[in-house]
Amino acid sequence: MSSVTVRVPAKVNVQLSVGPLREDGFHDLVNVFHAVSIFDEVTAKESEAITVSVSGKWSSQVPVDDGNLAIRAARALAKHAGRGYGADLLIQKDIPVAGGMAGGSADAAGALVACNELWGLGLPFEDLMEIAADLGSDVPFSLLGGTAVGTGRGEQLSELPTGGMFHWVFALADGGLSTASVYAECDRLREASAVEVSWPQLDDSLMEALGTGDAYALGAHLSNDLQEAALSLRPELAPTLDAGRQHGALGAIVSGSGPTCAFLAIDALHARDLARGLTTTGAADTAVPAHGPVAGATLL
Protein backbone atom coordinates (compact mmCIF):
# COMPACT_ATOMS: atom_id res chain seq x y z
CA MET A 1 0.00 0.00 0.00
CA SER A 2 1.57 3.28 -1.13
CA SER A 3 -0.94 5.74 0.37
CA VAL A 4 -3.37 5.70 3.30
CA THR A 5 -5.88 8.40 4.30
CA VAL A 6 -7.48 8.74 7.73
CA ARG A 7 -10.28 11.11 8.76
CA VAL A 8 -10.10 12.50 12.31
CA PRO A 9 -12.71 14.59 14.18
CA ALA A 10 -12.58 17.73 16.27
CA LYS A 11 -13.88 17.66 19.82
CA VAL A 12 -15.82 19.84 22.20
CA ASN A 13 -15.63 19.46 25.98
CA VAL A 14 -19.16 19.39 27.40
CA GLN A 15 -17.66 19.28 30.90
CA LEU A 16 -14.13 20.35 31.78
CA SER A 17 -13.52 20.35 35.53
CA VAL A 18 -9.99 21.31 36.57
CA GLY A 19 -8.60 20.25 39.93
CA PRO A 20 -5.88 21.94 41.98
CA LEU A 21 -2.40 22.44 40.53
CA ARG A 22 -0.27 19.35 41.22
CA GLU A 23 3.41 19.31 42.13
CA ASP A 24 4.26 18.05 38.63
CA GLY A 25 2.61 21.12 37.07
CA PHE A 26 -0.45 19.24 35.79
CA HIS A 27 -4.04 19.23 37.03
CA ASP A 28 -6.36 16.32 37.69
CA LEU A 29 -9.31 16.62 35.34
CA VAL A 30 -12.79 15.37 34.73
CA ASN A 31 -13.03 15.97 31.02
CA VAL A 32 -16.10 14.89 29.05
CA PHE A 33 -15.09 14.75 25.39
CA HIS A 34 -17.58 14.78 22.52
CA ALA A 35 -16.37 14.20 18.93
CA VAL A 36 -18.01 16.42 16.31
CA SER A 37 -18.26 16.51 12.53
CA ILE A 38 -15.45 18.94 11.74
CA PHE A 39 -12.63 16.85 10.31
CA ASP A 40 -8.99 16.87 9.32
CA GLU A 41 -7.68 14.28 6.88
CA VAL A 42 -4.20 12.81 7.28
CA THR A 43 -2.67 10.98 4.31
CA ALA A 44 0.51 8.94 4.75
CA LYS A 45 2.56 8.15 1.64
CA GLU A 46 5.65 6.01 1.24
CA SER A 47 8.88 7.89 1.86
CA GLU A 48 12.37 7.36 3.21
CA ALA A 49 11.94 9.98 5.95
CA ILE A 50 9.08 11.27 8.11
CA THR A 51 7.92 14.66 6.84
CA VAL A 52 4.73 16.71 6.98
CA SER A 53 2.98 19.24 4.74
CA VAL A 54 -0.30 21.03 5.43
CA SER A 55 -3.08 22.45 3.28
CA GLY A 56 -6.39 24.13 4.08
CA LYS A 57 -7.59 27.31 5.74
CA TRP A 58 -5.37 27.02 8.82
CA SER A 59 -2.26 25.63 7.11
CA SER A 60 -0.08 28.72 7.63
CA GLN A 61 -0.44 28.33 11.41
CA VAL A 62 0.75 24.71 11.56
CA PRO A 63 4.43 23.90 12.19
CA VAL A 64 6.02 21.49 9.73
CA ASP A 65 9.13 20.79 11.80
CA ASP A 66 9.70 18.64 14.88
CA GLY A 67 7.08 20.68 16.73
CA ASN A 68 4.34 19.06 14.66
CA LEU A 69 2.50 16.47 16.76
CA ALA A 70 1.78 14.26 13.73
CA ILE A 71 5.53 13.93 13.07
CA ARG A 72 6.10 13.07 16.72
CA ALA A 73 3.33 10.47 16.52
CA ALA A 74 4.81 8.78 13.45
CA ARG A 75 8.26 8.71 15.06
CA ALA A 76 6.84 7.27 18.28
CA LEU A 77 5.09 4.54 16.29
CA ALA A 78 8.29 3.68 14.39
CA LYS A 79 10.22 3.54 17.66
CA HIS A 80 7.56 1.26 19.17
CA ALA A 81 7.90 -1.02 16.14
CA GLY A 82 11.69 -1.02 16.49
CA ARG A 83 12.43 -0.07 12.89
CA GLY A 84 13.31 3.03 10.90
CA TYR A 85 10.24 3.82 8.82
CA GLY A 86 9.44 6.85 6.68
CA ALA A 87 6.25 8.58 5.58
CA ASP A 88 5.19 11.81 3.93
CA LEU A 89 2.27 13.06 6.02
CA LEU A 90 -0.17 15.31 4.15
CA ILE A 91 -2.66 17.08 6.43
CA GLN A 92 -5.82 18.70 5.08
CA LYS A 93 -6.90 21.04 7.90
CA ASP A 94 -10.45 22.05 8.68
CA ILE A 95 -10.09 21.93 12.48
CA PRO A 96 -8.92 25.30 13.83
CA VAL A 97 -5.35 25.58 15.10
CA ALA A 98 -5.02 26.32 18.85
CA GLY A 99 -8.81 26.61 18.92
CA GLY A 100 -9.65 24.33 21.84
CA MET A 101 -10.88 21.58 19.50
CA ALA A 102 -7.85 19.24 19.63
CA GLY A 103 -6.77 19.79 16.02
CA GLY A 104 -3.12 18.89 16.65
CA SER A 105 -4.12 15.86 18.69
CA ALA A 106 -6.48 14.75 15.92
CA ASP A 107 -3.63 14.92 13.40
CA ALA A 108 -1.42 12.86 15.71
CA ALA A 109 -4.14 10.22 16.01
CA GLY A 110 -4.56 10.23 12.23
CA ALA A 111 -0.82 9.76 11.75
CA LEU A 112 -0.80 6.77 14.13
CA VAL A 113 -3.62 5.01 12.29
CA ALA A 114 -2.35 5.89 8.82
CA CYS A 115 1.26 4.85 9.46
CA ASN A 116 0.20 1.66 11.24
CA GLU A 117 -1.63 0.73 8.03
CA LEU A 118 0.98 2.08 5.58
CA TRP A 119 3.83 0.23 7.28
CA GLY A 120 1.81 -2.98 7.66
CA LEU A 121 2.44 -3.12 11.41
CA GLY A 122 -0.97 -4.47 12.34
CA LEU A 123 -0.71 -3.10 15.87
CA PRO A 124 -3.93 -3.45 17.88
CA PHE A 125 -5.96 -0.43 18.93
CA GLU A 126 -4.78 -0.82 22.53
CA ASP A 127 -1.14 -0.33 21.48
CA LEU A 128 -2.03 2.80 19.52
CA MET A 129 -3.90 4.14 22.56
CA GLU A 130 -0.84 3.57 24.74
CA ILE A 131 1.39 5.48 22.31
CA ALA A 132 -1.25 8.21 22.03
CA ALA A 133 -1.34 8.74 25.81
CA ASP A 134 2.39 9.50 25.80
CA LEU A 135 1.90 12.13 23.09
CA GLY A 136 -0.73 14.26 24.84
CA SER A 137 -3.87 14.22 26.93
CA ASP A 138 -6.28 14.66 23.99
CA VAL A 139 -4.68 12.23 21.51
CA PRO A 140 -6.29 9.04 22.88
CA PHE A 141 -9.76 10.54 22.54
CA SER A 142 -9.04 11.54 18.95
CA LEU A 143 -8.45 7.84 18.28
CA LEU A 144 -11.55 6.73 20.20
CA GLY A 145 -14.15 9.33 19.20
CA GLY A 146 -17.78 9.20 20.30
CA THR A 147 -18.32 10.57 23.80
CA ALA A 148 -16.06 9.70 26.70
CA VAL A 149 -14.94 10.91 30.10
CA GLY A 150 -11.23 11.45 30.61
CA THR A 151 -9.63 11.48 34.05
CA GLY A 152 -6.06 11.88 35.29
CA ARG A 153 -4.61 14.41 32.85
CA GLY A 154 -7.57 13.53 30.60
CA GLU A 155 -5.92 10.53 28.94
CA GLN A 156 -7.63 7.79 31.02
CA LEU A 157 -10.81 7.27 29.03
CA SER A 158 -14.15 5.59 29.66
CA GLU A 159 -16.73 5.58 26.89
CA LEU A 160 -20.09 7.20 27.65
CA PRO A 161 -23.35 6.15 25.95
CA THR A 162 -25.40 8.87 24.27
CA GLY A 163 -29.08 8.66 23.52
CA GLY A 164 -29.04 10.51 20.23
CA MET A 165 -27.40 13.08 18.00
CA PHE A 166 -26.60 16.57 19.26
CA HIS A 167 -26.35 19.59 16.97
CA TRP A 168 -23.78 22.34 17.44
CA VAL A 169 -22.50 25.60 16.02
CA PHE A 170 -18.84 26.55 16.42
CA ALA A 171 -17.80 30.18 16.15
CA LEU A 172 -14.21 30.07 14.92
CA ALA A 173 -11.98 32.92 16.09
CA ASP A 174 -8.98 34.39 14.33
CA GLY A 175 -5.80 33.66 16.26
CA GLY A 176 -5.39 30.83 18.72
CA LEU A 177 -4.92 30.51 22.45
CA SER A 178 -2.07 28.52 23.96
CA THR A 179 -3.43 25.76 26.19
CA ALA A 180 -0.53 26.28 28.60
CA SER A 181 -1.23 30.02 28.87
CA VAL A 182 -4.92 29.41 29.58
CA TYR A 183 -4.11 26.93 32.35
CA ALA A 184 -1.58 29.40 33.77
CA GLU A 185 -4.22 32.15 33.74
CA CYS A 186 -6.68 29.79 35.44
CA ASP A 187 -4.14 29.17 38.21
CA ARG A 188 -3.44 32.90 38.51
CA LEU A 189 -7.11 33.80 38.81
CA ARG A 190 -7.67 31.11 41.42
CA GLU A 191 -4.69 32.26 43.47
CA ALA A 192 -5.78 35.89 43.24
CA SER A 193 -9.27 35.06 44.48
CA ALA A 194 -7.96 32.68 47.19
CA VAL A 195 -10.66 30.22 46.15
CA GLU A 196 -10.40 26.69 47.50
CA VAL A 197 -10.29 24.38 44.48
CA SER A 198 -12.20 21.16 45.00
CA TRP A 199 -11.48 17.76 43.51
CA PRO A 200 -13.19 17.49 40.10
CA GLN A 201 -16.36 15.40 39.94
CA LEU A 202 -18.41 14.12 37.02
CA ASP A 203 -21.75 15.92 36.70
CA ASP A 204 -24.49 13.30 37.10
CA SER A 205 -27.11 15.54 35.49
CA LEU A 206 -24.91 16.00 32.43
CA MET A 207 -24.40 12.23 32.24
CA GLU A 208 -28.17 11.70 32.31
CA ALA A 209 -28.68 14.32 29.59
CA LEU A 210 -26.13 12.60 27.34
CA GLY A 211 -27.64 9.19 27.99
CA THR A 212 -31.18 10.27 27.19
CA GLY A 213 -30.24 12.51 24.28
CA ASP A 214 -31.90 15.52 25.96
CA ALA A 215 -30.36 18.58 24.27
CA TYR A 216 -32.19 21.02 26.56
CA ALA A 217 -30.81 19.35 29.69
CA LEU A 218 -27.33 19.07 28.19
CA GLY A 219 -27.34 22.77 27.32
CA ALA A 220 -28.21 23.63 30.91
CA HIS A 221 -25.28 21.63 32.29
CA LEU A 222 -22.40 22.54 29.95
CA SER A 223 -19.42 23.64 32.06
CA ASN A 224 -15.80 24.62 31.54
CA ASP A 225 -13.48 25.63 34.38
CA LEU A 226 -11.10 27.19 31.83
CA GLN A 227 -13.71 29.54 30.43
CA GLU A 228 -13.03 32.38 32.89
CA ALA A 229 -9.32 32.24 32.04
CA ALA A 230 -9.99 32.17 28.29
CA LEU A 231 -12.28 35.20 28.63
CA SER A 232 -9.66 36.98 30.71
CA LEU A 233 -7.14 36.53 27.89
CA ARG A 234 -9.66 37.16 25.09
CA PRO A 235 -12.45 39.44 26.47
CA GLU A 236 -13.99 39.76 23.00
CA LEU A 237 -15.29 36.18 23.31
CA ALA A 238 -17.89 37.21 25.91
CA PRO A 239 -20.09 39.14 23.41
CA THR A 240 -19.92 36.15 21.04
CA LEU A 241 -21.23 33.84 23.77
CA ASP A 242 -23.98 36.35 24.60
CA ALA A 243 -24.97 36.61 20.93
CA GLY A 244 -25.35 32.84 20.67
CA ARG A 245 -27.66 32.81 23.69
CA GLN A 246 -29.70 35.66 22.19
CA HIS A 247 -30.11 33.59 19.01
CA GLY A 248 -31.60 30.73 21.01
CA ALA A 249 -28.65 28.49 21.81
CA LEU A 250 -29.54 25.92 24.46
CA GLY A 251 -26.05 26.33 25.88
CA ALA A 252 -23.00 28.45 25.10
CA ILE A 253 -19.47 27.63 26.18
CA VAL A 254 -15.83 28.17 25.30
CA SER A 255 -14.54 24.91 23.80
CA GLY A 256 -11.65 23.57 25.88
CA SER A 257 -8.96 26.23 26.25
CA GLY A 258 -10.59 28.33 23.49
CA PRO A 259 -10.94 30.58 21.67
CA THR A 260 -13.58 28.63 19.70
CA CYS A 261 -17.07 29.17 21.14
CA ALA A 262 -19.52 26.26 21.05
CA PHE A 263 -23.32 26.60 20.93
CA LEU A 264 -25.76 23.74 21.41
CA ALA A 265 -28.75 23.88 19.08
CA ILE A 266 -32.17 22.24 19.18
CA ASP A 267 -31.77 20.42 15.85
CA ALA A 268 -30.00 20.70 12.49
CA LEU A 269 -32.33 23.44 11.20
CA HIS A 270 -31.81 25.51 14.34
CA ALA A 271 -28.04 25.03 14.02
CA ARG A 272 -28.09 26.43 10.47
CA ASP A 273 -30.21 29.40 11.57
CA LEU A 274 -27.98 30.02 14.59
CA ALA A 275 -24.83 29.96 12.47
CA ARG A 276 -26.40 32.40 10.00
CA GLY A 277 -27.47 34.71 12.81
CA LEU A 278 -23.99 34.80 14.34
CA THR A 279 -22.32 35.73 11.06
CA THR A 280 -24.89 38.15 9.68
CA THR A 281 -24.88 40.18 12.91
CA GLY A 282 -21.09 40.22 13.02
CA ALA A 283 -20.91 38.28 16.29
CA ALA A 284 -18.64 35.75 14.54
CA ASP A 285 -16.66 35.88 11.31
CA THR A 286 -17.12 32.14 10.76
CA ALA A 287 -19.76 29.89 12.33
CA VAL A 288 -19.85 26.21 11.39
CA PRO A 289 -22.76 23.84 12.10
CA ALA A 290 -21.75 20.32 13.15
CA HIS A 291 -23.16 17.28 14.92
CA GLY A 292 -21.94 14.66 17.31
CA PRO A 293 -21.03 12.18 18.46
CA VAL A 294 -19.00 10.89 15.51
CA ALA A 295 -16.38 8.16 15.20
CA GLY A 296 -12.72 8.70 16.02
CA ALA A 297 -9.82 8.24 13.59
CA THR A 298 -11.23 6.30 10.62
CA LEU A 299 -9.56 4.82 7.54
CA LEU A 300 -11.05 6.11 4.29
Domains of the chain in start order, with CATH, are: 3-160 (3.30.230.10), 166-292 (3.30.70.890)
Residue-averaged pLDDT of the chain: 94
Q: Is 103 labelled as part of a ligand binding site? A: yes
φ and ψ of 57, to 5 deg: -55, -35
User: Percent of the chain at pLDDT above 70?
Assistant: 99
Q: Is 220 annotated as a binding residue?
A: no
Query: pTM of the prediction?
Result: 0.94
Q: How far apart are CA 45 and CA 282, in angstroms?
A: 41
> Cis omega before residue 259 (within 30°)?
yes
pLDDT at 175: 81
Candidates 107, 138, 214, 225; catalytic one: 138
**What tens digit of pLDDT does each residue of 66-113 get?**
889 999 999 999 999 998 899 999 999 999 888 899 999 999 999 999
Instruction: Note if 45 is an active site residue.
Output: no
Report cis status (omega within 30 of 0) of the bond before 63.
no
Contact call for residues 29 and 200 (beta carbons, < 8 A): yes
Question: Is 149 marked within a binding site?
Answer: no
**Residue 96, annotated as binding a ligand:** yes
